[in-house]
Amino acid sequence: MQIDLTGRRALVTGGGLGIGAAIARTLGAAGADVAVLYYGDSKDGALEVVAELTALGRKSVAIGADLMDPEAATASVKEAAEALGGLDIIVNNAGHMVGRATVAEMTDEHWARVMDVNSSTGFYVSRAAIPYLTESSAGRIIFMSSLAAENGGGAGSVAYAASKAALVGLCRGLAKELAGENIAVNAMAPGFIGATSFHNTFTAPEVQEAIIAGIPMKRAGTVDDVANVALFLASDLASYVTGQVIDINGGLNFR
């Protein structure tokens, strides 16, 4: 069955690299027009995604913004809606480990930044998008949680795990609030997704090998594995699915 998102308008945060770029490409390949939100040095990647989608005949725009700033987040959502003629799908993918630190050594600044980049960004963007989604016939909000929200994460990732767990609560509470508006709200919880800047930066090669060895499917996940779940959640196939967290981990962890 071919999923068709023709006429749908999507906003993907953190869309300039890794999982976010794969989601933007996948939604665009299915027919959606896509606003690619990026921050910092991912501009070139965002522009590359936009160029690919434009070549497919989609409307696509790259928007740079620090989504930890509520005013910037609101402005970027407005810019995306104006560029695409509205919004139907919001994918809150922006996030970062920032760094590994034990609770004993963690500074207030580190805690606040990790919570802001992973949790507050999703709140600010979703809040700003609600007026546009209520005008859609198939509104969708998708959050990017993590396996870390379930198992506490690896060494030095308590703040990251907590921030991703916060997104689960935000997802389920918002799903209740928006169900009457026919807006479905769900989250994805990827496990070990290989070949990403995240793990190349924060996970040593030998640790990556050990994690993969413990995955029942005996392989790392790919960005496309995550993007395909996002495609399902964004589509009419998931019209009666809301408040759920979809695990994408090759059997590494079960609820």
Residue 204 has pLDDT above 90, yes or no: no
In a domain, 76, yes or no: yes
**CA quadruple 87, 93, 96, 102: dihedral sign:** positive
Residue 33 has pLDDT above 80, yes or no: yes
Residue 196 has pLDDT above 80, yes or no: no
CATH number of the domain enclosing 185? 3.40.50.720
Which of these, 54, 56, 127, 64, lies nearest to 90 by C-alpha position?
127
Query: pLDDT exceeding 70 applies to what percent of the chain?
Result: 99
In a domain, 44, yes or no: yes
In a domain, 17, yes or no: yes
In a domain, 2, yes or no: no
In a domain, 253, yes or no: no
In a domain, 217, yes or no: no
Q: What is the largest CA-CA distance in the chain?
A: 52
Are 168 and 242 spatial neighbours (Cβ–Cβ below 8 Å)? no
What would the pLDDT profile of 129-175 be if each residue is shown by its tens digit? 999 999 999 999 999 999 999 999 999 999 999 999 999 999 999 99
Range of the domain at 26: 9-194+222-248
Residue 47 has pLDDT above 90, yes or no: yes
Residue 201 has pLDDT above 80, yes or no: no
In a domain, 73, yes or no: yes
Decide: pTM greater than 0.85.
Answer: yes
Task: Tell me what pLDDT residue 127 has.
Answer: 98
Residue 207 has pLDDT above 90, yes or no: no
In a domain, 216, yes or no: no
d(Cα 132, Cα 241) in Å, to the nearest integer?
20
Task: Tell me what pLDDT residue 205 has.
Answer: 87
Count of domains for the chain: 1
Give me the active site residues, please: 160
- Average pLDDT in the chain: 96
Residue 24 has pLDDT above 90, yes or no: yes
